[in-house]
Structure 1
């Protein structure tokens, strides 16, 4: 049995929160640089500004965007690992320190409907835990701004709508997002499972490196076709038209009920902030 002290997560999460709000993931920045080659005129100028902003943020240790997001933590916990101490509480403490000590904007409100008081430290984060075999322990952190989160959608399609129904829903959601999601976007698509699980899949899909497609060739082909169709919408960088509306479409799927075809689309801005902690 492998022993891990929950308290040791706090500085790791604190530092990861600082990094993911200041530095692009290498694959995301590479995708932006590649997309820049396709753009001319004002869309090319916009891409230059985005890349310049990325360089300034990294050099000056400043947030890439003023909306430093609500944090989601995906914990992968091996069944042969024993956590000493409160895991969830220490994850929340790490996020709180990450946002206060790195001078990041606190965006979390304690109650969603009535008082909406700011918690002051960007907690509570959303925590998902997946139990697997072995003694692995990882935490994937995502900081998701709500300019893009608000443009996400979920639909309970009928099985008869099939592939065409999924395509239409995904492309309609991207078109509706338009400039509000700070394109070029990264689009996560969750297909199958249940109402709630499809949404989980759609957001988790955003963690996959942009250089990787779904390992199932059918879903990889769907990702490519959706990307091509999305980039024909002429929304373009920051909504100013152009060839690059979406950098990548990432799909995840799960078995579902014979009477259902849940599909969720999680829209993400071009920054797509995430960090992985491995112990």
Structure 2
């Protein structure tokens, strides 16, 4: 059994909140550069160039990648041989977000109630997802989620007879309906199977997969590439100005489901697909 004081989690989350709002993973930057080389529409090339400049400015550590610094989505993989000490995990996570968004001068975007709309003033509470895994380590992923893209996400309980084509049509339809709203080029997370809530969680977790990583399942790897081709064929383009680059990546996570169902969820992220991780 390994004891871990929750203050360590608090401090790491504060750090990751700031870093995730200023730095993009190298795989995403590489993908953007490749798409810029491939793009033929002058307006689209100009937009992609501006995006790369924005990323470089944000890396100087003063200005965040986007004015919407997002809802703090915190994913915790906690080893079953870990004993948390020093207080409440929930309180530690929220305090980490509170400090990160305060010290980083990041916009506070959370309202305490969805209808009465009073801002909490510190970007808490965070969205927290915990998973118990083997081992004695804690993996932390902080993924600030802007709602220009979150609002474009959808879920549908398809009949099993819809099959692969029904799933693909729903994903493409969702991206077409989103249009320019999620600030394309987008990253598309897809969850297939499980239950209503499981599909949505898988779609969100799919956004955490590096864009350059191939799916270990060849079947879904082929589906990801076909979907990427179809979405880019919509011609929406960077920021909706047309072109070949509507999406940077499509990632799929699947899970077993009931014989009577085929849940599918689509969680969209803008080109600022932010997430940082650490292991304690």
Q: TM-score, normalised by structure 2?
A: 0.98
The residue aligned with 1:57 is: 58
The residue aligned with 2:34 is: 34
One of 88, 102, 107 as aligned partner of 2:104:
102
Gaps of 5+ in 1: none
Contact 1:187-1:249 within 8 A present in 2 as well: yes
Any idea what the Cα deviations from partners look like across 1:6-41, whole Å, max 9, x if unmatched? 011222111111111011111111111111011231
* SS of residue paired to 1:50: helix
The residue aligned with 1:111 is: 113
The residue aligned with 1:20 is: 20
Shift of 1:209: 0.7
Contact 1:158-1:261 within 8 A present in 2 as well: yes
Q: Matched residues in 1 for 2:230 and 2:8: separation?
A: 46
The residue aligned with 1:257 is: 258
The residue aligned with 1:133 is: 134
The residue aligned with 1:216 is: 217
Q: Matched residues in 1 for 2:5 and 2:11: separation?
A: 12
User: How is 1:62-77 mapped onto 2 (pairs within 5 angstroms)?
Assistant: 62-77=63-78
The residue aligned with 2:3 is: 3
The residue aligned with 1:124 is: 125
Note if 1:92 corresponds to 2:87: no
* SS of residue paired to 2:180: helix
Shift of 1:132: 1.2
Shift of 1:193: 0.3
Shift of 1:208: 0.6
Q: TM-score, normalised by structure 1?
A: 0.98
Report the count of equivalent residues.
278
Shift of 1:136: 2.3
Structure 1 vs Structure 2 CA RMSD: 0.8
Gaps of 5+ in 2: none
Any idea what the Cα deviations from partners look like across 1:89-123, whole Å, max 9, x if unmatched? 1011001111011000000000011x211001100
Note if 1:171 corresponds to 2:181: no
Runs of 4+ that moved beyond 4 A: none
Any idea what the Cα deviations from partners look like across 1:55-98, whole Å, max 9, x if unmatched? 11112521111000001111101111101021111011001111
* SS of residue paired to 2:265: strand
The residue aligned with 1:188 is: 189
Q: Matched residues in 2 for 1:108 and 1:18: separation?
A: 17
* SS of residue paired to 1:267: strand
